[in-house]
Amino acid sequence: MKLPLRKSYKYRIYPTKAQESRLENQFSMCRHLYNWKLAERIEAYEKEGVSVGYTQQQNSLPELRKERPWFKDVYSQVLQDVLRRLDNSFQGFYRRIKAGEAPGFPRFKKRGQWDSITYPQYKKRPDSVIDVPKIGKVKLVHHREISDEAKVKTLTITKDAGKWFACFSVEISFPAEPEQDLSDPVGIDLGLIDFFHTSDGEHISAPKCLRQKEKHLKRLQKQLSKAGKRSGRYYRLLKAIQKCHYRIRCKRNDFLHKSANVLLKKSGLIFYEDLKIRNMIRRPAPKQDEEGKYLPNKASAKAGLNKSIADAGWGRFLDILKYKAPHFGKKVAAVPPHYTSQKCSACGNIVQKSLSIRTHSCICGFVSNRDLNAALNILRVGMDTLQART
């Protein structure tokens, strides 16, 4: 059986100085268009009580290009994609209101906050040189092939930390592998000291990519705070900070992909805790006494824990596991996280312990690393759930 699959291929590109200038100008014009159309929507609602939609704003693009001829230097479909992004922001805003979440009204884009343009109907396949509309032929590092069956759907040109990339979104009929080798199930417990601990005793230390660069980032950010706003030094320091974050991101992604490959090669059935990571990294609610004075709520300690959780990249790791599993013919399943760390995997007793206690010790005589004990519980709950379904 073949399933339609969307996949992205990312390549490094090397535009000339003139091409970089044209790309930067297009980024700037797209940012201005986004801000103008956002202001138009706000003004129409405040003054007339009407909502302006994507179709109405798209139909006004030909008139805009007549009034401001410099917009003719931007491919028409790129401008349409800008309006689509704005419309998607409003759709997300309405959806969050209905769900009772924090609304997050669309914001105006500042200088430097627009770093990509998308060609929605780009069909050409990548080679050592790609032809980008309104830009010209750009050198590309063609380090991997796109299969002949794949159909190129879009092209996105991005700039990240001073480096340029071309991202091709393709649609391919993916032959789903039958689930196999499911006889070696394993449970994994994600952590901050050991990135994960498996139920068979293996573990990998957390890389702490952000923590390793924290002092360097702190020094750069301190210098940035003292630099004059909008000065040459300000933008040089800002670029240095962006490069540092880019290296952290690359190092973390490399670790997460390699760790996922290790797990998928050794086991055909992987169980993990269904953690609500976004809730775990929320700030603690403020506490007040009867007179309205604020009380200590351990916000500083929680901030450090939140930073470590975000640095570990649990959510990204689980996403990688989920999309890679079908390619390996393997299966990944979530289990409820309740009491996996507190319950004894040998006898089932509840053993209360704080995060600082790293050893599980039960009255039944079972002693082990707390993460190993949790991984064993995750495996047991996962197997019980699987058997109940069958």
- The CATH number that applies at residue 210 is 3.30.420
Residue 25 predicted with pLDDT over 90: yes
pLDDT of residue 96: 93
pLDDT of residue 390: 61
pLDDT of residue 285: 84
- Asked whether residue 12 falls in the same domain as residue 93, the answer is yes
pLDDT of residue 182: 62
Structural domain includes residue 180 = no
pLDDT of residue 214: 93
Over range 257-280, report the average pLDDT: 91
- Asked whether residue 212 falls in the same domain as residue 333, the answer is yes
Q: Residue 235's closest CA among 246, 222, 245, 224?
A: 224
Q: Where are the extended beta strands (E) located within 114-211?
A: 116-119, 129-132, 136-140, 151-160, 163-175, 185-190, 194-198, 203-205
- Tally of domains within the chain: 2
- Asked whether residue 90 falls in the same domain as residue 151, the answer is yes
Mean pLDDT over the full length of the chain: 90
Over range 38-49, report the average pLDDT: 93
Q: How far apart are the first and last CA of the chain?
A: 23
Over range 112-125, report the average pLDDT: 93
Q: Which residue has the higher pLDDT, 3 or 211?
A: 211
- Asked whether residue 285 falls in the same domain as residue 167, the answer is no
Alpha carbons 46 and 28: distance in angstroms, whole number:
27
- Asked whether residue 145 falls in the same domain as residue 228, the answer is no
- Among 150, 175, 200, give the residue marking a domain's end: 175
- Asked whether residue 21 falls in the same domain as residue 134, the answer is yes
Q: Report whether 38 contacts 208 (CB < 8 A).
A: no
- Asked whether residue 283 falls in the same domain as residue 164, the answer is no
Element (H, E) at 332: strand 331-335
- Asked whether residue 59 falls in the same domain as residue 156, the answer is yes
The whole domain housing 201 covers: 185-389
Structural domain includes residue 287 = yes
pTM above 0.85, yes or no: no
pLDDT of residue 292: 80
pLDDT of residue 290: 81
pLDDT of residue 279: 86
Q: Which residue has the higher pLDDT, 37 or 329?
A: 37
Query: How many CA atoms lie less than 13 Å away from 190 in the CB half-sphere?
Result: 25
Q: Is 62 exposed, middle or buried (0-12, 13-18, 19+ CB in 10 A)?
A: exposed
Q: Which of 43-57, 63-77, 172-186, 213-227 has the lowest mean pLDDT?
A: 172-186
Q: Report whether 299 contacts 365 (CB < 8 A).
A: no
- Among 128, 153, 175, give the residue marking a domain's end: 175
pLDDT confidence of 81, banded at 50, 70, 90? very high
- Among 125, 140, 175, give the residue marking a domain's end: 175
Q: Which residue has the higher pLDDT, 9 or 326?
A: 9
- 3 state SS of 189: strand
- Asked whether residue 267 falls in the same domain as residue 137, the answer is no
% of the chain residues with pLDDT over 70: 96
Q: Which of 89-103, 139-153, 326-340 has the lowest mean pLDDT?
A: 326-340
163-199: string of b/e by CB count within 10 Å (b at 16+)?
ebbbebbbebebeeeeeeeeeebbbbbbbeebbbbbb
- Asked whether residue 64 falls in the same domain as residue 35, the answer is yes
Over range 305-323, report the average pLDDT: 92
Residue 27 predicted with pLDDT over 70: yes
pLDDT of residue 56: 93
Residue 254 predicted with pLDDT over 90: yes
Q: Which residue has the higher pLDDT, 277 or 81?
A: 81
- Asked whether residue 149 falls in the same domain as residue 196, the answer is no
- Asked whether residue 191 falls in the same domain as residue 144, the answer is no
